[in-house]
Each structure stands twice: as structure tokens, then as C-alpha cells.
Amino acid sequence: MTEEIRGGINLPAYREDIELHTSDGLTLVGEISLPTSGEPVATLVTLHPLPTAGGFMDSHILRKASGRLPALANIAVLRFNTRGTKSPRGTSEGTFDGGNAERFDVDAAIAFVREAGLPNPWIVGWSFGTELALKYGRNHDIRGAILLAPPLHRATPEEVAAWAGDSRRLVALIPEHDDYLQPAEAAQRFSSVPNIELINVEDGKHLWVGENQTRRVLNEIVRVVNPAAYPLPTEWDGPLA
């Protein structure tokens, strides 16, 4: 039976609970979702919104990426809780450090992808996760970074400017009605990175609420990471997870 793809629908994938181990001795909880149809073409390392404001690995865009993209776009999706963050999957060890010691969490996630032999890693950060992507993503062998609603609260101007001329792709989705960084200010604050691709999302808000916004975000991710699968279908004819 054909199903409309919306909400929390979970399409088929190989899903496995995982643990990440940081170089400063913490165990972080997470999940890897893999396509059922062979090797993925790319891997998303997702970094969730601010945990002190309710962000975690199940924040809806990241959960929906995991639920849809392995089946629709042949993309692997890694989600995890940064230090001190709790979700139904469990609680990661440690305590929130404002984006400082979280560098070790990013390191551990990229190390997992490398050791698992997963191809073409991309960092996808949302809100607080974009700060971690900007601050620490350049330290790793990644294809690029996709920033969803970057607030630019913690990434310094110097850390942003360091991406200028980097051969890896940097893409930012800027909601029209964002609470923290709207298109005009984003253009100014990212002006030090002429190679960035700024995508202004009409009617978008920081939390990307609603199916239209979910589809826009996931389509933009796929357009960058696996353009052969763009645009994503809106219906699924097959079994559900």
C-alpha cells in the first residue's frame, strides 16, 4: 500500500544502537542507520541542537533524516547524544561543556565512521550542532558540512573565516524567520567565507516545524550529498520499518 511520507514515518533501514568512546574517557550513546540495499553512497554525522534547550539525537529533523534517507537516498545516518545529553536511547556520560570538550565527541563520531568503513562523511549540524561543525569540522577528513539554522553564538569570527578557500563544501540553510540569525545578517557574518553556499529558506523558522519545512531541509541535504536521489519522493510503496 502506498503511504505518504510525512511525520515520524520510519522506512526500512538497518538500525543499530552504538556507543562512541571519546579520547577523554567518556562513552556516548547513539544509533547508526544504514540502507538495506547495499553500501551507502555517503554518511551523515549529525550534531544535535543545544541540549540545555531540549536538543538531543532525536530532535525531529535528525530523527526524520534517519527514518527516511537510508531508504530514499542510500545515505547512512549517524545520530548520537553529546556528553551529558539524554534521550530514549540513553544518556551519554559526562556533562555539557558549552561546545568546548564537545570537540572530543565530534572526534569520536568521525572515528566511528572511519573505523566502520563508511564512505563520504558529511557533518550535518543543527543550531548548537552547527557551532561544533564550524569549530571542529575542519580537523577531520570530511566531504563538507551542512549547517541547519546556524546561530553563530559560539563559533568565533576567526573560526568561521578559517573555512574560506577550504576545498570542502560548506552549505548553510538560513530560515527567513530564524530567532537568532536571519538571511541579511547571515550574509554579513559569513562574508568572510566567499565559498559558502547560503540557502535562504522562505517561511523557515529555527525549529523547522511542519512537514513542508522537513521536506525542504531533507531535500537540500540530499541535493548536496547525493544529487542523483534529488528530489525526494513524497510517497512510499513498500513495507515500513
Other Cβ atoms less than 10 A from the Cβ of 12: the count is 15
Q: Tell me the pLDDT tens digit for each residue of 121-158.
A: 999 999 999 999 999 999 999 999 999 999 999 999 99
| pLDDT, tens digit, 9 for 90 and up, residues 210-222 | 999 999 999 999 9
Looking at residue 1, its pLDDT comes to: 74
Q: Rounded mean pLDDT of 219-233?
A: 98
Domain that holds residue 160: 2-237
Buried b (16+ CB within 10 A) or exposed e, 56-86: bbbbbbbbbbbbbbbbbbbbbbbbbbbbbbe
- What pLDDT is attached to residue 151? 98
- Confidence at residue 30, expressed as pLDDT on a 0 to 100 scale: 98
CA distance 133 to 66: 19
Q: CA 88 → CA 58, 69, 85, 92, 126, distances in Å?
A: 8, 21, 11, 11, 19
- For 211-216, the CB contacts below 8 A with 24+ separation are 211/6, 211/7, 214/6, 214/60, 214/61, 214/64
- For 33-85, how does the pLDDT look when each residue is reduced to its tens digit (9 = 90+)? 999 988 999 999 999 999 999 999 999 999 999 999 999 999 999 999 999 99
Q: Residue 23 CB: number of other CB atoms within 10 A? A: 10
The answer, yes or no, to whether residue 113 has pLDDT greater than 90, is yes
> What is the tens place of the pLDDT at every residue in 149-199?
999 999 999 999 999 999 999 999 999 999 999 999 999 999 999 999 999
CA angle 184, 152, 209 (to 5 degrees): 75
- Asked if pLDDT for residue 100 goes beyond 90, the answer is yes
Contacts within 8 Å (CB) and 24+ apart, 113-117: 113/43, 113/45, 113/78, 114/141, 116/32
Q: What is the CATH number of the domain that holds 207?
A: 3.40.50.1820
Split into its structural domains, the chain has a count of 1
Residue 96 confidence (pLDDT) above 80: yes
The pTM is what? 0.98
Name every residue whose Cβ is closer than 8 Å to that of residue 84 and which is 6 or more positions away in sequence.
51, 91, 92, 93, 94, 95, 96
